[in-house]
Amino acid sequence: MLSEDEHAFIQAMAEAWMPSGGEPALSGADARLGDFLDETLLAINPLNRKLLKLLMQVLDDATLPTHLSSYRKLGLKARQAVLHGWLHHDNHLLRSAVQGIVVLVSIGWTTHPEVAAVIRPSMRCWYGR
């Protein structure tokens, strides 16, 4: 479902949102959250899938004027700063759109087997994928 660039964008955003370190020391990119989102798109209706993919492409290119590079090609610190800016942007439409992607990526993160093993003891229900 995701193009190569869209997948790379999600991987880059996932790593910026959840860099390596902590417990487990698994980054969002290492957790292959691009793959998770690719699978998730199968459950989304075609119009919303197309719109979500368009949003990824627009966000990836949004850093071209300011950083002379697509988001997916920026270094980690720059990606984190851009993501922070998007998540705290004055424009509620941009802020909400980015939050929606972060929520999807976060679902994939919390259900990753290594992360679920850390979360599971504090949850009363079965947890993980």
pLDDT tens for 59-97 read 999 999 999 999 999 999 999 999 999 999 999 999 999
Residue 127, token pair as written in the block: 């947890």
Question: Is residue 121's pLDDT more than 80?
Answer: no
Q: Is the dihedral of CA 85, 61, 7, 78 positive or negative?
A: negative
Q: What is the pLDDT of residue 129?
A: 47
Residue 122, token pair as written in the block: 């504090």
CA distance 108 to 110: 6
**Which of 103, 100, 99, 119 lies closest to 26, judged by CA?**
119
**pTM, entire model:** 0.90
